[in-house]
Amino acid sequence: MRIKARNTTSHGATLAPDLYRYAPTHADTTARRPAPEARRRRVQSAEMGMSILKALARLGGSASLTAVAQSVDESTAKVHRYMASLVEEGLVAQEPSSQRYFLGQQAIHIGLAALRQCDPIRAGEPALARLRDELGVTCFIAVMGNQGPTILRIEEPALPVVVNVRAGSVLPLLWSATGQVFLAFAEGDALATQTLHEWERATPDQQRLVPKKASISALRKQVRAQGCASVQGLLSPGISAVAAPIRQHTGQVAAVLTALGASGGFDAAPEGHIATRVRQEANAISRALGFAAG
pLDDT of residue 275: 96
Name the CATH superfamily housing domain 118-288: GAF domain (3.30.450.40)
Q: Rounded distance, CA 38 to CA 171, Å?
A: 59
Q: pLDDT, tens digit, for every residue of 139-164?
A: 999 999 888 899 999 999 887 666 77
Domain 17-115 has CATH 1.10.1370.40: no
In contact, 224 and 185? CB cutoff 8 Å:
yes
Query: Is 118-288 the same fold as 17-115?
Result: no
Q: pLDDT, tens digit, for every residue of 71-129?
A: 999 999 999 999 999 999 999 999 988 899 988 888 887 777 766 666 888 899 999 99
pLDDT of residue 212: 60
pLDDT of residue 34: 56
pLDDT of residue 26: 52
Q: Rounded distance, CA 273 to CA 266, Å?
A: 10
pLDDT of residue 174: 87
Q: Rounded distance, CA 83 to CA 86, Å?
A: 5
pLDDT of residue 240: 92
Domain boundary assignment for the chain: 17-115, 118-288
- What's at 187, amino acid-wise? E
Has this prediction a pTM greater than 0.75? Answer: no
The list of the chain residues with pLDDT below 50 reads 1-21
